[in-house]
Every structure is written in structure tokens, then in C-alpha cells.
Chain A
């Protein structure tokens, strides 16, 4: 089955930019989605189809996807952005939904 890789953690100072990566074999051929999960809360979709934002998600969240790496960029990081972030794709061969292992974002 399709495998996604993510760095376990990223630390960033308030006001700076956090760059989260999601690796996969030819991932650019997949639509990549990103979910934010704050501690003790349900996940929230923050980016879907590589670059789109659901309504209510700030423009500070943006996505891209090229080659073997998809990226979620959080600009002007705030304390409330501290959470686990999961990339996710659909494995069409097996009709399964695959999550990456998650990246914990810590705001210093």
C-alpha cells in the first residue's frame, strides 16, 4: 500500500513560517489533504486537493505538491497553530485512505 512520510516534529517562533513536508512516491500524482489535530480535539481539514482551503481556514495555511513531496506552509504562526498535522491521500489501487505519521508543530 502507499506510504507517506512526515518529519516527527517542527518548532517555530510566533510570527515566523512553518514548513511541513509529506513525502511519497510520485506524490504529485495524488491529491494531498492536510488535517490539523489539536490536543484532545477532533481533526480539522485545513487544506484539500493540494492547495484549496475549506471555508473558515485562514489564508495563512497554504499547500503545494510537486515531485515526491507535498508541503503545508503556515505563515505568521500563532500559538493556536500548535497541533499535530497529518497529510492524507487516497490510494486508488486499494481504495484505502492513507495518513502520514503526523508532524507535531510546537510554537516556541
Chain B
């Protein structure tokens, strides 16, 4: 079972970036899925969740700027990030939730997003 995150890179403040998480051996639409980030020198921070029913929720710092979505045909999870700020610099992890649960039992390897000022 694997989650492979990609799409990170260097972007200017105010720019956009789209992260992808490719999933194997389970269907992304059958699980709750989240993005979690690790800013440099800081702790883990939850970013967004996409429930299997389609509902989405966002952490306050990213609400209105980030959008979580999935493509069932490609079995991938995405995070569209707009109006990027320096404080969005972090390693971004996609994570699968424990089935019908409120924690994360499988994590991707992470992709680094650097926002330059």
C-alpha cells in the first residue's frame, strides 16, 4: 500500500502550485483523505480533509486559498494551492485516515513546497 506525493517546488509569493498524491492498492474515494504539512523547524499541522462522501474542511490559515479534491478515475488526491505565502513553506504529506476514523494510518513520503518572498 503506497501514497506517493508529488508537485512540490519553488514558487514565488502569491503564486500557485498543485500537489498530487498517487494511491495504490486502495481506492481514494473509499477513505477519508487529508493533507498535513511540516513547516521547517516546527511541528505537524493539519491542512485539509476530503471525506469519502465529498465534504471538505480546511484549517483556518489555508481556508479560501487551498482546495482539496480527488480524481477517482486516476485514483489520486490533489491539493490546489493559490495565493501562496511564505508561511506555507513546508513538506506536505498526503495521509489516509483509519477507516471511518479520526486519525491517519498511512502517510506518503512528503513533497517540499518553498515559497520565496
The residues of A with any CB-CB pair to B shorter than 8 Å are: 1, 31, 33, 35, 37, 42-45, 48-49, 54, 84, 86, 88-90, 94-102
Determine if B78 is an interface residue (Cβ-Cβ < 8 Å). no
Is B71 interfacial (CB 8 A cutoff)? Answer: no
Contacts of B38 in A (CB 8 A): 37
A31 and B44 contact, CB distance less than 8 A: no
Q: Given A35-B104, A42-B110, A48-B105: A101 and B98 within 8 A (CB)?
A: no
B46 contact from A48, A96, A102, Cβ within 8 A: A96
B108 in complex: contacting residue of A42, A88, A102, CB < 8 Å:
A42
Does B49 belong to the interface (CB within 8 Å)?
yes
A-chain residues with CB within 8 Å of residue B109 when the two chains form the complex: 42
Which B residues form the contact surface with A (CB < 8 A)? 34, 36, 38, 43-46, 49, 57, 59-60, 93, 95, 98, 101-105, 107-110
Considering the chains assembled together, what is the distance between the CA atoms of A6 and B34 in angstroms? Answer: 23
- Which residue of the partner chain B has the closest CB to A99? B44
B contact residues around A1 at 8 Å (CB): 60
Q: Which residue of A lies closest to B106 (CB)?
A: A45
Cβ contacts under 8 Å, B104 to chain A:
33, 35, 43, 45, 88
A contact patch SS: strand
A54 with B57, Cβ < 8 A, contacts A43-B93, A101-B43 known = no
- Chain A residues, Cβ within 8 Å of B60: 1
Q: A42-B93, A42-B107, A48-B103 are in contact. Are A84 and B46 (CB under 8 A)?
A: no
Q: How far is the CA of A49 from the CA of B107 in the complex (A)?
A: 18
Q: Which residues of A contact B102 (CB under 8 A)?
A: 31, 33, 89-90, 97
Complex Cα gap A27–B59 (Å): 21
Check if B43 sits within 8 Å of A99, measured CB to CB: yes
| CB pair A102 B44 closer than 8 Å | yes
Q: Do B57 and A96 touch (CB < 8 A)?
A: yes
